[in-house]
Structures are given as structure tokens and as C-alpha cells.
Amino acid sequence: GPILQARGLTKRYGGLLANSDIDFTVNHGELRGIIGPNGAGKSTFFKMLTCEVHPTSGTILFEGRDITGMNVTDVCQLGLTKSYQVNQLFAGLTVRENLVIAALSALRGKFKLDLFRSIDSIPGLSERVQQTLELVNLTSRPDTPVSELAYGEKRRLEIGLALATSPSLLLLDEPLAGMSPRERVETVKLLKSISQGRTMIIIDHDMDALFELAERVTVLQEGRVLVEGTPEEIKNNSTVQEAYLGGVHGVLAA
């Protein structure tokens, strides 16, 4: 059944209509891709789903609960977490320390009176951090300062911060952006691995990688849903080819 349902999502900025009347449903265990040409409204739509931006109209249901108008911290506590396109890392801390901060936000919630309690005494913390290091292939780098990581490693750690909160729905904003060909191959392999038993939504401009990963793809154009379907259906859809390529047939399918 659905884990996330958006109905009639619309966002206006003054006279600018960024998104218009979007209906969007993702089921438990699904890996959904979102694509669209530049200016299609993908970023605004994604931010509405994570409550970074509130819709002008429409509703968002997460696990059957209306989260429309809630803030990012509260929806993260409910299990909806986003990994950002621009790394949101603590560069002066180590890999492990970054993951500890993320895991604590899930294990201890908002502000607690035991703020200065030793983290070693918090049940499940060490195990969660170690599991996350394994998930994102950083077990050899736990004590490395983030500032010394390669770009691809930083992107994996960014995904790890989201995973450390044990989300029931993980949204990834362009996880392959800026990567070398080798890093993209490694990260696609990583995303396939962590998608097992998880529900994920991914936006990325690398359509080949997204078609390889996603079970279904939603295409946005001019702030609306243009079409949804399997990767094969999307690749062979003439309307999608027109939106991306001005009607050059077969390029998406090549």
C-alpha cells in the first residue's frame, strides 16, 4: 500500500506557478525515480514532499498521516528523511562523528534534558553507526576528518547521514551529481544495495543510472506530471522524447 500520497500539490511564488495540481503516490518498498527537463519544477516538488517548502494548496499523507505544513525536523522524526544534493556535512569532524550526530537525532529525538550524558551509554548507538558505515562502504574511514575525504566518499557519507536515522522513506536529491564515471558506477551499486527492503525516491539528471535503479519513473514538465511508467515505457514514450529532445526519436531508448 501507499507510504506517501500527494494530492493536488500546487506551489505559487507570487505570479509564478512552480507546481500545479500534482497527484503522486509511492508504495512501500518501491524505488521511484523523478526526472524532468530543466525548469520542470522538480526541486520545488521534492522540497514540498520533505516539508522544506509548504504547498500553496494540496495535501501530503505519509503513512496515512497528514504532514502538510509540518516542519522538516518533525517529519524526519516520523521516518521521512532527505539526502541533499549539496553535502550537509560537518567538515571539521570525522566520518564517525558525523554519523553519531545523525543517529542521535533518531535515537533521542528533539532536545532532551540528558544533553551531557555520555554517548557510549546510549543503547544501540554504536551498532547503528557501525551498520551505517558498512552500508555506505566507509568502514575503513571512520576516524578520517570529512575534509580529507574524496568527493565520492563525501556523497556516500551524505547518504549515510540519512540512513543513520533509519528512515522508512528516503529521498535522494541528485546523489550522482558531480561524480566521475567510476564514482557513478560505485554509487549506483551502493544505491542498489541499500534499496533492498527500503522505500526510496530519487531525483537525478543521469537518466541511464536512474532507469537502471528505478521500478517506476515520474516525469515532470512545466510543474506538472507529464507521464508515469516503467523505465522502458518512459524511454519509448514519444511525449517524453519531445519534452527532452524536441522530438528526436529513439535517443532516450539508445
Tens of pLDDT along 82-129? 987 666 799 999 999 999 988 887 666 554 544 445 666 677 889 999
Verify that 39 and 103 share a domain, yes or no: no
Grid coordinates given for 169: 522513506
pLDDT of residue 8: 97
Domain with 95, as residue range(s), is 91-166
6 and 37 fall within a common domain: yes
Q: Which helix (H) or strand (E) holds 82?
A: strand 80-83
DSSP label at residue 88? -
208 in the same domain as 144: no
Within a domain: 220: yes
154 domain residue, yes or no: yes
Number of domains in the chain: 2
**CATH number of the domain that residue 54 is part of:** 3.40.50.300
Contacts with 111 (C-beta within 8 Å, 6 or more apart), sequence order: none
Predicted pLDDT at 95: 96
Buried b (16+ CB within 10 A) or exposed e, 190-207: bbeebbeebbbbbbbebb
Classify residue 103: in a domain, yes or no: yes
Q: Confirm whether 112 is domain-assigned.
A: yes
Q: Of 108, 136, 166, which residue is a domain's last? A: 166
Q: How far is CA 248 from CA 10, 190, 223, in A?
A: 31, 33, 23
Which of 106, 133, 166 terminates a domain? The answer is 166
* Claim to verify: residue 152 and residue 252 sit in the same structural domain: no
Taking 70 as the pLDDT cut, the residues of the chain under it are 85-87, 106-121, 245-254
Instruction: For residue 134, count CB atoms less than 10 angstroms from its CB and return exposed for 0-12, middle for 13-18, buried for 19 or more.
Output: exposed
Given 142, 166, 190, the domain boundary residue is 166
C-alpha torsion angle, residues 87, 14, 246, 228 (rounded to 10) = 70
The answer to whether 11 touches 55, Cβ cutoff 8 Å, is yes
**pLDDT value at residue 247:** 46
Q: Residue 168's CB: how many other CB atoms inside 10 A? A: 16
Cell, residue 60? 501530503
For residue 140, give the H/E element and its range.
Answer: none
- For CA atoms 27, 30, 35, 41, the dihedral sign is positive
pTM score, two decimals? Answer: 0.87
How would you write 7-45 as a 3-class SS string? EEEEEEECCEEEEEEEEEEEECCCEEEEECCCCCCHHHH
Task: Return the pLDDT at 222.
Answer: 93
The single-letter code of the amino acid at 2 is: P
Q: Is residue 31 part of a domain?
A: yes
Q: Say how far apart CA 159 and CA 172 lie, in whole Å.
A: 8
**CB 18: neighbour CB atoms within 10 A?**
21
Q: Which one, of 70, 26, 19, 8, lies nearest residue 44 by Cα?
A: 19
Residue 85 within a domain: no
**3-class SS of residue 223:** coil
Could you give the strand order of the β-sheet that contains 2-13, starting from the edge strand earlier in sequence?
16-27, 2-13, 57-62, 65-66
pLDDT at 244: 78
